[in-house]
């Protein structure tokens, strides 16, 4: 097994955020996801989508490398998938405290609960794309439900 201190592993853990002893996915979403949304949330949805697509592609490669380097499938400390999923959850949402809070709660709910098809993908799709894809789906579900909730309020 290779050392897990390579640049690939560090990026996949968002520079160590994933090594949090308590709820690493939640910590990564809060500490990395929210500030990233604040940076890109004012951009057009097309630009947000392009940036998220680049993050997704890079994340797939980084997650694959992290699995190889750690010798484990879907290492818990890999949290780049949470960043990508949260940014998808927020795509097209207004930059406001209500939308950030709603998106955060909904994304974490779907990412932890993993209703169908999220849970199915989590169990059946392996490798880097598997690590990323369930969070992408959680982000899509959170995005849609978040937009509905925000329209009602």
pLDDT at 34: 98
Question: CA triplet 33, 44, 26: central angle to 5 degrees?
Answer: 10
Q: Which of 84, 30, 39 is nearest to 57 (CA)?
A: 84
Task: Evaluate whether residue 71 is within a structural domain.
Answer: yes
> pTM of the full predicted structure?
0.95
DSSP state of 19: G
pLDDT at 153: 82
Domain with 143 in it: 7-152
DSSP per position, 88-111: HHHTT--SSHHHHHHHHHHHHHHH
Task: Evaluate whether residue 2 is within a structural domain.
Answer: no
How many domains are contained in the chain? Answer: 1
pLDDT at 5: 76
Q: Does residue 77 contact residue 55 with C-beta atoms inside 8 Å?
A: no
pLDDT at 4: 59
Task: Evaluate whether residue 1 is within a structural domain.
Answer: no
Task: Evaluate whether residue 131 is within a structural domain.
Answer: yes
Compute mean pLDDT per 10 residues along the chain, 153 residues long, and list them.
Answer: 74 96 96 98 98 98 96 95 98 97 98 96 96 98 97 89
Task: Evaluate whether residue 48 is within a structural domain.
Answer: yes
């Amino acid at each position: 097994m290779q050392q897990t201190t390579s640049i690939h592993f560090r990026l996949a853990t968002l520079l160590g955020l994933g090594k949090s002893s308590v709820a690493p996915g939640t910590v990564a979403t809060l500490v990395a996801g929210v500030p990233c949304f604040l940076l890109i949330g004012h951009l057009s949805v097309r630009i947000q989508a392009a940036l998220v697509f680049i993050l997704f592609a890079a994340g797939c490669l980084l997650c694959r490398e992290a699995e190889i380097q750690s010798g484990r499938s879907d290492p818990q400390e890999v949290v780049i998938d949470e960043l990508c999923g949260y940014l998808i959850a927020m795509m097209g949402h207004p930059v406001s405290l209500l939308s950030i809070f709603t998106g955060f709660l909904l994304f974490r709910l779907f990412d932890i609960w993993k209703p169908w098809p999220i849970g199915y993908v989590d169990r059946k799709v392996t490798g880097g794309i598997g690590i990323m894809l369930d969070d992408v789906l959680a982000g899509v579900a959170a995005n849609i439900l978040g937009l509905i909730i925000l329209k009602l309020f």
